[in-house]
Each structure stands twice: as C-alpha cells, then as structure tokens.
Amino acid sequence: MHLLCSSTALPEGHSRAFSVAGEKLLGVRRQGRVYVYRNRCPHRGIPLNDATEHFLDDSASLIHCAHHGALFLIESGECVAGPCEGEALQALGCVEDSQGIWLKG
C-alpha cells in the first residue's frame, strides 16, 4: 500500500490531486468516505483538472472535468452529463486508518 496523505489533508467536501509512481490520481472526501480515481477523463484521456487541483463542481457534489464540462458522481465515478455520459472514471481501492489515506495495491 502507498500512503497518499494524512486524513486532515483531505477534508470533508474537498478534493485533491495525487501522483503515485507517475500515475495521476484524484481523491475526494464525501460524507466521511474517501474515493480515489485515476485522474483521466474517459472522453479524451486527459486529466480532469486544469492548472489547479480543483475537481469538484461549484456545489461540491459532483466531480467536474475542467476541459469539457463532464460531470461524474463522486460515489461511483459514473459520468452523468457531458460528452462521455454513461462512461466512468476508473476507481482505485483505498483505506483510511490513524496514519492517513492509503492507496491499495
């Protein structure tokens, strides 16, 4: 397993970018649970974010692609609006313990 960050580094309702062995990832905390996905939009295979680390829409209830506006459910990664509707982000396993958030694998 690979330590992504401390639990406090990913507060409720926020997202952030990670890089593990050259792989770009994103993490989101929603309702106390952490979700980790590959940071790659299924529409064009590019990272979801622009120069910032912001991955959520204005309501912080959906993951947002900064390049073409696709919207994804935080809990499943499913695209619910935009050019890749019906496709999904690639989810990765993670666990959280007293030391922080860990990427499985």
Architecture of domain 2-103: 3-layer Sandwich (2.102)
> From CA 64, how far away is CA 10, in angstroms rounded?
17
HSE-CB at 88 with a 13 A cutoff on CA atoms is 11
The pLDDT score that the predictor gives to residue 50 is 86
The reported pTM is 0.94
pLDDT at residue 19 is higher than 90? yes
- Mean pLDDT, residues 15-34 taken together: 96
Give every strand in the sheet of 23-30, ordered side by side. Answer: 15-20, 23-30, 33-38, 91-92
40-73 tens-digit pLDDT: 999 889 999 988 888 999 999 999 999 989 999 9
> From CA 91, how far away is CA 77, in angstroms rounded?
7
Read off φ and ψ for residue 9, nearest 5 degrees.
Answer: -80, -5
